[in-house]
Amino acid sequence: MQLQNAISQSISQALHAVFGITVDATQIALQPTRKEFAGSFTFVTFPYTKQVGKGPEQIGQALGEYLKETAAEVKDFNVVKGFLNLEVPEQEWLRLFRGIMANPKYGYGEPSGRNVMVEYSSPNTNKPLHLGHLRNNFLGYSVSEILKANGHEVMKVNLVNDRGIHICKSMLAYEKLGNGETPESSGMKGDHLAGKYYVLFDKQYKEQIDELVAQGMDKEEAKKKAPWMLEAQDMLLKWEQGDEQVVNLWKMMNGWVYDGFDETYRNIGVDFDKYYYESETYTLGKELVEEGLHKEVFFKKENGSVWVDLTGDGLDEKLLLRADGTSVYITQDLGTAQLKYDDFPYDQSVYVVADEQNYHFQVLKAALKKLGKPYAEGIYHLSYGMVDLPSGKMKSREGTVVDADELVQEMIDTARQQTEELGKIEGFTPEQANELYHTLALGALKYFLLKVDPRKRMLFNPQESIDFRGNTGPFVQYTHARISAILRKAGEMGISVDTASFENFENLHEVEQDVITQLVNFPAVVKEAGNLYAPSVIANYAYELAKSYNRFYQEISIFNETDEQARSFRIALSAMVARFVRESMNLLGIAVPERM
């Protein structure tokens, strides 16, 4: 960034000196020069033709000649139509490289003074985590790390949806069919056991609907009048009234689920600073609804239900409280937003939630604005697309979801198979091999789900994700392992990166310059990823850096180099690539192995 800023400043001066026009340096955009042309940075001259009164090529030529004469950071130039391509002197690249080596915090922002809360995962306690949850968890964790890298104070939170009609469905089915089954007696993880009864409820419920329809009842009416649905609604009411038997069943089953979730979170490498539970926030939500009635920004209908009119905001009227006094999702979200702000006065509250809830978050923000809450403007919905498989969309009620635990295990098995076939575990103990399989599996899974823009719906291909070639996690991980082997060999030869001397090294190869360019760009990448809440920016950077290094590795000799300074430089360059591959992957929540 410092180099680009210097070049932008020089171009600003050149525009004034050559053409007499004033353009602020901050308004001058530079792009990386395309591979097929000589140069490092490209300045587009088309926008200045009217002001200058000359053609784009003439402008480029005149600016290039001026910059070559006056700017230390410009070695040479070429003009292709309206594109001025600028070459940077080798010594400038080496100066920048030494600066990166000397700065362990290179690329990371200074403290910004901004508090950001990131809410992700948000599971329901009636079923285990599935593939969609994995994209959510990986996205939330990575965005949190990227925001920290941009200098913000970040709190990672998990809002657990531990109450509501869907929870009561699992509870009712267990009460009727469970026969005292426990995770211990069944050998099932607790979250899987609760999910089993959610599926059983749905099966029984559908049979009851069909039976009522066969008796002549309208299907929509049958959905409301099915016996188990009525009993589940009654159970929810009893729960809200504190019925001891219902609450004890709820506590027992939720306890099983939390144990299961904790195991999954540990296995996939995500964590949280704080948990919120909707069972503890919905009452505060009801208080806010009352506050809205008192302020006359919410209104009550004849049946006693409470609503907010958001038609003036381009939205609809929205139910906030049912006629029987029970809460809906938005009720508890109002309460949670308030509680979160009380705990951690945030400048921004990021909700990592699928795009199916886009409208919901527009409503939440608008309703909080109606209440005059100071934190309403800071609400940001990080909306992401669903994850599909070749078999289509997942449906948890029907038991056809892609279970997260099973998918991770499948990825580990695939990593084992591919690694053994490639013979990459020679000299590993069984424990080291298992750790490597887990590292590769999670790297493949996380990278594949994060390399796509969050807003895009995506198709997950497990086999493609774990390939050691192409834009995959294992390819980047293997690059790090390869460099680690090079650094170990250098150490055995008595060459230390810390003491590597290349003060008089001058002859940079094109591929070496390309690698340094990638390293120099790291701060801009971190900033862009933070501004866009997009781990995909980091993932693609890691891939391009790994790709550039592999080209360098194929074309340039390291240990057969007779020039001691050149060899020292290449070892230092390798070490810096390893560092920024590692740091990039860390921002994605991905570990990189030292050996493969």
Give residue-wise pLDDT tens across range 255-265.
999 999 999 99
Domain boundary among 40, 58, 88: 88
> How confident is the model over 473-519, as pLDDT tens digits?
999 999 999 999 999 999 988 877 776 677 778 788 989 999 999 99
pLDDT at 211 over 70: yes
Looking at the structure, tell me whether residues 374 and 421 fall in a common domain.
no
Q: Are residues 471 and 548 in the same domain?
A: yes
Question: Is 258 inside a domain boundary?
Answer: no
First to last CA, the chain: 34
3-state DSSP percent of the chain in helix, strand and coil, to 5 = 60, 10, 30
Residue 362 and residue 492 in one domain: no
Question: In the listed set 384, 418, 434, which residue is the last one of a domain according to the structure?
Answer: 384
Whether 427 and 522 map to the same domain: the answer is: yes
Same domain for 370 and 416, yes or no, is no
User: Do 362 and 440 have their domain in common?
Assistant: no
Is residue 235 a part of any domain in this protein?
Answer: no
pLDDT above 60 for 568: yes
What integer pLDDT is reported at residue 418 of this predicted model? 86
In a domain, 78, yes or no: yes
Whether 457 and 526 map to the same domain: the answer is: yes
For residue 293, give both structure tokens. Answer: 């009635």
DSSP state, 327? B
Q: CB burial class (10 A; 0-12, 13-18, 19+) of residue 322?
A: middle
For the stretch 403-421, pLDDT in tens is 899 999 999 999 999 888 8
CATH at residue 79: 3.30.1360.70
The pLDDT tens digits of the residues spanning 339-381 come to 999 999 999 999 999 999 999 999 999 999 999 999 999 999 9
- For residue 373, being part of any structural domain is answered with yes
Would you call 196 exposed, middle or buried from its count of C-beta atoms within 10 A (0-12, 13-18, 19+)?
A: buried
Domain assignment present for 233:
no
The residue out of 47, 73, 88 marking a domain boundary is 88
**Of all helices (H) and strands (E), which one includes residue 351?**
strand 348-354
Domain shared by 379 and 413, yes or no: no
* 444 in any annotated domain: yes
C-beta atoms surrounding 539 within 10 Å: 27
Q: Where are the beta strands (DSSP E) in 107-240?
A: 115-119, 153-160
**290 to 280, 297, 298, 300: CA distances (angstroms):** 17, 10, 8, 10
Identify whether residues 584 and 481 lie together within a single domain: yes
Mean residue pLDDT of the chain comes to: 92
Residue 238 within any structural domain of the chain:
no
Residue 149 belongs to a domain: no
Q: Tokens at residue 330, please?
A: 């938005």
DSSP string over 29-96: -EEEPPTTSS-SEEEE-GGGHHHHTS-HHHHHHHHHHHHHHH-TT--EEEEETTEEEEEPPHHHHHHH
Same domain, yes or no, for 372 and 496? Answer: no
Q: What is the span of the domain harbouring residue 435?
A: 404-588
Domain count, the chain: 3
> Residues 443, 294: one domain?
no
Euclidean distance between CA atoms 37 and 130, whole angstroms = 47
Token code pair at residue 113: 């003074």
Same domain, 506 and 575: yes
Model confidence pTM above 0.85: yes
Collapse the DSSP code of 453 into the 3-class scheme (helix H, G, I; strand E, B; otherwise coil) and give the result.
coil
Average pLDDT over residues 296-316: 95
Domain of residue 429, CATH code: 1.10.730.10
**Residue 580 clears pLDDT 80, i.e. is over it:** yes
Distance between CA atoms of residues 423 and 63, nearest Å? 55
